[in-house]
Amino acid sequence: MIYIKVDEDLCTACELCYDVLPEIFSDRGDGIAIVKNYRQEIIQENLDKIEEVAEECPADAITIG
Ligand code: SF4
């Protein structure tokens, strides 16, 4: 099972992850990102993009495990 986590304390609300991958991430209401979808088939389908977004996150707030 692949697990994705956003550290809400590190996130700077840059909007990148939920702009690129609204299937996986969303804005919790104040710009800070949350993971909204843990369905494994959706994560598997988007894994390459998720890895790219995690690398590009300016706050290094996204963890994939
Ligand atoms: S890419 Fe990183 S800093 Fe930007 S909204 Fe997502 S988790 Fe936050």
Which atom of ligand 1 is closest in space to residue 13's alpha carbon?
5
Q: CA separation (Å) from 41 to 36, 44, 46, 47, 64? A: 14, 5, 9, 10, 15
pLDDT, average across residues 35-55: 95
* Domain containing residue 34: 4-64
Closest CA to 53 of 44, 37, 64, 42: 64
The enclosing domain of 30 has a CATH number of 3.30.70.20
Pocket test for ligand 1, best of 5, 6, 16, 49 (most atoms within 8 A of CB): 16
As a whole number, mean pLDDT of residues 37-47 equals: 94
How sure is the predictor about 15, in pLDDT bands with cuts at 50, 70 and 90?
very high
Inform me whether the pLDDT recorded for 38 exceeds 90: no
Domain count for the chain: 1
Residues 6+ apart with CB under 8 A from 62: 4, 5, 6, 7, 17, 33, 50, 53, 54
